[in-house]
Structure 1
């Protein structure tokens, strides 16, 4: 085959594959079986390998993702990617509608679901996908083109007669993809994403587009930002137009002319919320006609011609069937409500934490009660109250002994939590070792919950120190292990000996000492021996360490079982000294608050940059806050900072300040 023949076949294959992609990923109507599709793709890959000059950047073969990137380039938005004003009641929706009707002549409103995802811009030049970027601060985003190309429903080619088209869409993670990702993260002992929106944002900002491709993201396009093709005069007309071009548009966009119609459509969307295979967090109401939008105008923050109605937390009633009592890693005895399953915010819920005895007593929650349950922030199930008691019910009281080992439970100091004081309690042993091996602690690859449970059940380990006595021969006595898997785990355990001291401190599981507090201890004292020899006054001199934390560290490092564990770890050669990663004291004494989604940095990455420069990151805004670093969809923290006159920084300004 010569070059000309190859080009014709590449063009033909590209057109065929793109057509099949559109049918499968946009129309949800496959036109070819998987095998035939794979054969077409293999033929195209082979031709592109044989004739590299024919391998377009927008080839269907590029969908699988490429190599890792070091950074994302800045992309200025020629048309601002603004946000909408949120409203939370039908009264506010009515006020908005009536205002528009009073200022405009017979306005038509478009009502559409508000997808809970991440806003992006897709730009096409002469029909070719040119660049894709995040919303950022609305004026400047980040180039995530390589990652967006892995989303199969995004067309890489459209009508070539269109000189310029820029559309705005919402990247989201379907619930099915989200649940599979969380299952995989839990299996790998990774901290799972809390909801599909966070998962989508984190996946789109992966430095490697191969990882993004694995996450199975999708997109709905809902707006034209720039258009040098067909002239359109209304929102509905623009959506119909881009739908014909091959884009996956917002799933429904219904025209309404009265408030009553708008309210009915909002209720309809809310009732069908659980049937969508993706998360929505509200409904958007927009004036349809573009000329009328110009008449309405905008404030410095929001357009006056649109609002976003946010769903209130969904509350439902169910029957409490039982209360389970779990024992945590630190001995905390936690009651958990088990109730008849119900659907909340799109997922089935049958359990919720009841916190402690006081929580149960204050609400008079009894087994058999009809209770009210909701999802706080559409994520965490919680019991609000008891609606009615079952006949013959009695007040519930937590057991006086540990449900696992039978040791008498106690209250420590002023804590509301009940605790099992037996450090050899099987429940604590298992969870302590799981914590010790977890990613934020010793990060032992391959040592997940199930493996730890297997080792404990077979009495191969009775403490975290016993991990370092494991051999391939011992592991291969268990059915779960073969020579290769046993060898890999032994190597991973051995490698953990050289971890930084802060990981070990965190892994010891001292109450109230998280990963950051462990770093502060190490930076203050420099070695585990120095920490163990420090008194309460020395420990409390660390910024952020109060009396409870300081006393807790002092007492924990004198408990016989923990001292014995540390000495065993010492004999195995674990690292007991610390080399600080702090780069300077440039931000010493400065307090930062992070809010919203930053263009390129994860929250932990931004926090580390600040702390490496001596700064402190707080979770709440107060008069003591020096800077608020705000990203996309910053919420109440940004508002409070503006009210207090606190300096607001973008990610770029933070990086410039720190010299990163």
Structure 2
């Protein structure tokens, strides 16, 4: 039930979280009270809030009131306004599309100019069609060539995948994204974003430019606490320079970026002979 108050609060909190739209001060009890007061029924309602009712929010109880205040309300409203200009990848992640995490959101936005382009993506449709037609070699080959030319796929190097391709995202993600934007919820989000004048900035790059990025096709795993940057900041730097971040160490991992008190990923990397670097070494790669 999308309109259950508790679920609405969770959706607003996710939407406003630091890794999503980073809307400062709109989380926890504030999100709860915004929903409780009927000021927010869905995340995009945040962009129609006015300072006065937000400032008057009582975060306490009737017996022990704790008013949010004009200063905090102004801070929150400024953060909401800043969110309008955040990159498309942050918006795709904030919308909580099934199967779309931060890395996938970044991959998608490198090949699409606008959120409407993602919703109508021929690349995602081609991925689905390719997997449906794999037994029909000629038609599948034509689709594969189209995807490779766009940079959204590359020829498979594995023996098992001979004559096949490896795409930026798989068919499950492609289907999930297309289904989301074709749904009543997805269509409403696109319509409201247009009405609100929200047009997230594209991070689209050409296939040639993407291949030339310093960390292109490099896979990183992060573990431990870095001294000068958060894992989130490190992830953003890696992805901005063409790399990928995954949650587990495998033979496909190129680097493990390790900080203080690393976990089992550090031990596994040592066992597998994966290169381990610290933050200083990582910064030299940027």
Instruction: Name the counterpart of 1:511.
Output: 98
2:84 partner SS = helix
Q: Which has the higher strand share?
A: 1
Instruction: Name the counterpart of 2:268.
Output: 640
Q: Judging changes above 3 Å, is the alpha-carbon distance between structure 1 residues 461 and 500 closer, same or farther for their aligned structure 2 residues?
A: same
Larger radius of gyration: 1
Alignment partners' CA distance in 2, 1:481 and 1:635? 40
Alignment partners' CA distance in 1, 2:125 and 2:239? 23
Alignment partners' CA distance in 1, 2:257 and 2:196? 43
Structure 1 position 573 matched with structure 2 position 201: no
The alpha carbon displacement at 1:537 in A equals 3.6
Instruction: Name the counterpart of 1:530.
Output: 117
The alpha carbon displacement at 1:635 in A equals 5.0
Per-residue CA deviations over 1:49-107 (Å, capped at 9, x if unaligned) read xxxxxxxxxxxxxxxxxxxxxxxxxxxxxxxxxxxxxxxxxxxxxxxxxxxxxxxxxxx
1:622 partner SS = coil
Q: Which has the higher helix share?
A: 2
Structure 1 position 655 matched with structure 2 position 242: no
Higher relative contact order (CA 8 A, sep 6+): 2
1:498 partner SS = coil
Alignment partners' CA distance in 2, 1:645 and 1:424? 50
1:594 partner SS = strand
Per-residue CA deviations over 1:503-551 (Å, capped at 9, x if unaligned) read 2222211122222222222112121011010143456757552232221
After TM superposition, the structure 1 = structure 2 runs for residues 151-170 of structure 1, keeping only pairs within 5 Å, are: none
The alpha carbon displacement at 1:495 in A equals 2.9
Q: Judging changes above 3 Å, is the alpha-carbon distance between structure 1 residues 614 and 490 closer, same or farther for their aligned structure 2 residues?
A: closer
Alignment partners' CA distance in 2, 1:518 and 1:548? 14
1:628 partner SS = strand
Unaligned runs of 5+ in 1: 1-421
Per-residue CA deviations over 1:453-502 (Å, capped at 9, x if unaligned) read 22222222222222222223443564535444444433332332222222
The alpha carbon displacement at 1:634 in A equals 4.2
Instruction: Name the counterpart of 2:242.
Output: 614
Q: Judging changes above 3 Å, is the alpha-carbon distance between structure 1 residues 464 and 603 closer, same or farther for their aligned structure 2 residues?
A: closer
TM-score normalised by structure 2 residue count:
0.69
> Does the 8 A contact of 1:589 with 1:614 survive in 2?
yes
1:617 partner SS = strand
> Does the 8 A contact of 1:497 with 1:574 survive in 2?
yes
Instruction: Name the counterpart of 1:436.
Output: 15
Q: Judging changes above 3 Å, is the alpha-carbon distance between structure 1 residues 551 and 654 closer, same or farther for their aligned structure 2 residues?
A: same
2:245 partner SS = strand
Per-residue CA deviations over 1:420-444 (Å, capped at 9, x if unaligned) read xx33333322221222222222222
Instruction: Name the counterpart of 1:158.
Output: none
Per-residue CA deviations over 1:233-286 (Å, capped at 9, x if unaligned) read xxxxxxxxxxxxxxxxxxxxxxxxxxxxxxxxxxxxxxxxxxxxxxxxxxxxxx
> Does the 8 A contact of 2:93 with 2:100 survive in 1?
yes
Alignment partners' CA distance in 2, 1:487 and 1:654? 38
Q: Judging changes above 3 Å, is the alpha-carbon distance between structure 1 residues 527 and 482 closer, same or farther for their aligned structure 2 residues?
A: same
Q: Judging changes above 3 Å, is the alpha-carbon distance between structure 1 residues 427 and 642 closer, same or farther for their aligned structure 2 residues?
A: closer
Instruction: Name the counterpart of 1:593.
Output: 221
* Paired residue total: 237
Instruction: Name the counterpart of 2:81.
Output: 494
2:232 partner SS = helix
RMSD of aligned residue pairs (Cα, Å): 3.0
> Does the 8 A contact of 1:641 with 1:647 survive in 2?
yes
1:555 partner SS = helix
